[in-house]
Amino acid sequence: MTVASKETIVIKNYINGNWVEANTTNFQDVPNPATGETLASVPISSKEDVDQAVRSAKETFKTWGNTPVPKRARILFKYHELLTKNHEELAKIVTKENGKSYKEAYGEVLRGIECVEFATSAPSLMMGDSLSTIASDIDSEMFRYPVGVVGGITPFNFPMMVPCWMFPLAIACGNTFILKPSERTPILANKLAELIQEAGLPDGVLNVVHGAHDVVNGLLEHQDVKAISFVGSQPVAEYIYKTAAHYGKRVQALAGAKNHTIVMPDADLDSTVQQIINAAYGSAGERCMACSVVVAVGEIGERLVESLIQAANEIKIGDGLEEESFLGPVIRETQKQRTFSYIETGIQEGADLKRDGRKDKEINDQGYFVGPTLFDNVTPDMKIWKDEIFAPILSVVRANTLEEAINISNQSDFANGACLFTRDGGHIRTFRETIDAGMLGINLGVPAPMAFFPFSGNKSSFYGDLHVNGKDGVEFYTRKKMITSRF
């Protein structure tokens, strides 16, 4: 249920430096998930809107792609300054439209700002290579160039960080960009565009087109869009990868996850519990790096489950704007109902429901709250083990050895993150060498790499070759020319 507010705004697209109405009569409400209050109305734009944005981006590319790299970087320095100045406001917008706690939102904004920081190094990052005398009197050089118009399609769960994985680096490398934010969290994207305009970015370099499938397909099919960056759920990532490739584009598509955390008997119980609680229930479990499965090895299992229940009981559920709230709502009522039905599935599959988040008292009738939920004795044949639920549900699986625990983790179709809690160096090495996941954590819960490293999953968590951020990001957003010269 959504409740209209006097402040409801109709969101506009940002094309060629102008705030324009979409060519559509189709709009969706954007509720605050903590209250149900309507924050805005988002247009479900058409392919015509995409076309306008692509025309603008293609035209602007002619000048932006030739703008000196240090000049492009200087605009990003200014952008960095403005984002930092507006850090609190940006975090409040994230909390309001996504539901995560203000503290988490503040952290997310910082992660976004760090991406801009990385992108300001474009003059160094874009350097090529050279080698003299590859044969008598012959030298070879490699130069990097932007690829052209790039499309970015982003999910609801990180309205700041995920777009910042994409457009700052893409434009620093000389590309022009069309961002299609999640229609469930569209508000922050316009604030990001507003601030980059203020930083002096020429019109048409960054465009924002709001909407859903039509905008996505418009970008995928458009012959003037040369590359697609996508982050979202697994089925959509697979579709994006295949369709973009069909239309001859380069593509990176980051997908869903089911991250396992292995706890060895020698782990420090208190800090392990604290890290797992944060990783499983922070951001209401709506993180691609959330800990959704714990594999407890040996005798620590009983104590670990008891301590997790105790810590979960102390979690403060509530509107993320209230300072003491740790666990905010999930994104929509439909997601709340989907989570409830997964809890029912877990019971029917025979897992032990140790803490039932359906029974937590909600702070109001309108918000989409689910309390921290914990299942014990989950097994890999269960649906609650296999599926990405994307909610504050933690499954505990029991194992007897590290090898068995790793084998269980590796049976998952997903391979985004995985963590190990232990004090044993040998265990750490075995884990590092044999686990399938792309981002590993040792004695910490959410091992999200910083912007100068690639953010990388494997198996069904990633479709493509080059990951976002780091040197991979630079490779993705540039094409190379080799020159071989005889003197």
Residues annotated within the binding site for NAD(+) are: 156, 180, 183-184, 388
Of the listed pieces 7-15, 45-53, 228-236, 395-403, which binds ligand NAD according to CB under 6 A?
A: 228-236
Of the listed pieces 43-51, 193-201, 249-257, 277-285, which binds ligand NAD according to CB under 6 A?
A: 249-257
Find the residue with minimal CB distance to ligand NAD.
Answer: 232
The catalytically annotated residue of 164, 173, 288, 419 is 288
256 part of the interface to ligand NAD, by CB under 6 A: yes
- Asked if residues 393 and 284 have their Cβ atoms less than 8 Å apart, the reply is no
CA-closest candidate to residue 157, choices 9, 303, 282, 23: 282
| Catalytic (active site) residue 164 | no
How does 24-51 read in b/e, with b if 16+ C-beta sit within 10 Å?
beebbebbbbbbbbbbbebbbbbbebbe
Binders of ligand NAD in range 183-202 (CB under 6 A): 183
Candidate residues 157, 190, 229, 307; the one interacting with ligand NAD per rule CB under 6 A: 157
Q: Which is nearer to ligand NAD, 304 or 435 (CB)?
A: 435
Residue positions forming the annotated binding site? 156, 180, 183-184, 388
456 part of the interface to ligand NAD, by CB under 6 A: no
292 part of the interface to ligand NAD, by CB under 6 A: no
Least distance from C-beta 158 to ligand NAD, angstroms?
6
Taking 3-state DSSP, the helix, strand and coil percentages for the chain, each rounded to the nearest 5, stand at 40, 25, 35
Candidate residues 233, 377, 379, 430; the one interacting with ligand NAD per rule CB under 6 A: 233
Residue with the two structure tokens 């290579």: 129
What's the CA gap between 350 and 340, in Å, rounded? 16
Q: Which is nearer to ligand NAD, 108 or 360 (CB)?
A: 108
Candidate residues 257, 343, 394, 466; the one interacting with ligand NAD per rule CB under 6 A: 257
- Asked if residues 104 and 452 have their Cβ atoms less than 8 Å apart, the reply is no
Candidate residues 241, 368, 390, 431; the one interacting with ligand NAD per rule CB under 6 A: 390
Question: Strand 225-231's sheet: what is its strand order?
Answer: 18-20, 13-15, 206-208, 176-180, 149-153, 225-231, 250-254, 462-464
Q: Which helix (H) or strand (E) holds 82?
A: helix 69-85
Of the listed pieces 87-95, 254-262, 373-381, 396-404, which binds ligand NAD according to CB under 6 A?
A: 254-262
Least distance from C-beta 122 to ligand NAD, angstroms?
23
155 part of the interface to ligand NAD, by CB under 6 A: yes
Question: Strand 439-442's sheet: what is its strand order?
Answer: 352-355, 373-376, 393-399, 291-297, 259-263, 417-421, 439-442
SS3 letters across 231-292: ECCHHHHHHHHHHHHHCCCEEEEECCCCEEEEECCCCCHHHHHHHHHHHHHHHHHCCCCCEE
Number of residues that bind ligand NAD (CB under 6 A): 28
What's the CA gap between 47 and 190, in Å, rounded? 20
Least distance from C-beta 290 to ligand NAD, angstroms?
8
List the catalytic residues: 288
Residues that bind ligand NAD (CB under 6 A): 153-158, 162, 180, 182-183, 212-213, 216, 231-233, 236, 254-257, 288, 388, 390, 416, 455, 457, 461
